[in-house]
Structure 1
């Protein structure tokens, strides 16, 4: 079955984004507890590109499939989880990249480099790390994974925060600081 990417984020209403998020069916990796462990020989570079045994994975459908199986434990180790095994994945910064965003009323919607859509809020918090002079912005994705906002998306979010006058943004009733604590 061919993959139909979601429409451009700017063309979607918040209700459209919420419907697309609700319609996406993901494997229940949080419910799986395989005993077998190994190394996937996969690396996710800081720019969001995926590599296997040193060669770039160029098939977006394969990256999307692997991304749906990702978890990250409390120690920061990323895993590719199936019902029968879990394999380590080397992640240089974040498993995903936030590549676009849209503000509608009191909500912020994001598109990831895997074409996944999410809305910032309790399940997808925005976190500022680094130092005040060179912060990095992340948004929680699922199962302990997160997405780093690319420069363009970071700039879009910063414009909203500057307009707010306090370097914070609000989404789904929560306020997120864009300056590291």
Structure 2
């Protein structure tokens, strides 16, 4: 089951465009959005081409003001994001306990090694009060971990140095709230 690890190695050196370095003029809202289920839309209609969605994902940026934009060297346009711009849809665990590493694949085929540079965080799910885990992907962009993977995360929970329950990955500990 080395599939995600192989994909991660193959992707080294590639990845998102250097959108953090670009400062193009703001060109407005053209009707792009990402729904809670991770689907991209243009003017209310789903974008059916996965390759186009992946292209858009490569030039997505979240600025310090909390807003999301598609950014090229020449222009910047709004993207309305209902929750997180990506979903973590596949997970692979390597090792166990403190030596564990968790790899995730997003719905746009980013492969992320959870750890100090790509932490997990947990937020309350309103109004249920349950927990929603998010994985840092890049820049200020996160992936919501899908419900199916939450069960896998719970199974991999272990005790931290302070006695709290949480998840170890790549040498970092991510405590579960509560």
Give the TM-score band, short-chain normalised. 0.7 to 0.9
CA distance in 1, matches of 2:132, 2:172: 19
1:20: how far off? 2.4
CA distance in 1, matches of 2:60, 2:109: 15
* Aligned: 1:149 with 2:145: yes
- How many positions carry a matched residue from both structures? 168
* Aligned: 1:96 with 2:121: no
* Aligned: 1:30 with 2:33: no
Q: TM-score, normalised by structure 2?
A: 0.87
SS at structure 2 position matched to 1:121: coil
Q: 1:87 aligns to what? A: 77
Q: Does the C-alpha gap of structure 1 residues 38 and 172 become closer, same or farther in structure 2, counting only changes over 3 Å?
A: same
* 1:72-104 deviation digits (Å, cap 9, x = unpaired): 122321111000111110000000000011110
Moved over 4 A (4+): none
- Contact kept? 2:4, 2:105, Cα under 8 Å: no
- Contact kept? 2:30, 2:77, Cα under 8 Å: yes
CA distance in 1, matches of 2:139, 2:67: 12
1:110 to 87, 104, 111: 104
CA distance in 1, matches of 2:104, 2:73: 29
What residue ranges of structure 2 are gaps of 5+ in the alignment? Answer: none
Q: 1:50 aligns to what? A: 40
CA distance in 2, matches of 1:76, 1:53: 21
1:59: how far off? 0.4
Q: TM-score, normalised by structure 1?
A: 0.86
* 1:17-55 deviation digits (Å, cap 9, x = unpaired): 441231424311111011233113111000101110010
Q: Does the C-alpha gap of structure 1 residues 44 and 13 become closer, same or farther in structure 2, counting only changes over 3 Å?
A: closer
CA distance in 2, matches of 1:119, 1:156: 16
Q: CA RMSD in A?
A: 1.8
What residue ranges of structure 1 are gaps of 5+ in the alignment? Answer: 1-9
SS at structure 1 position matched to 2:12: helix
1:13: how far off? 6.4
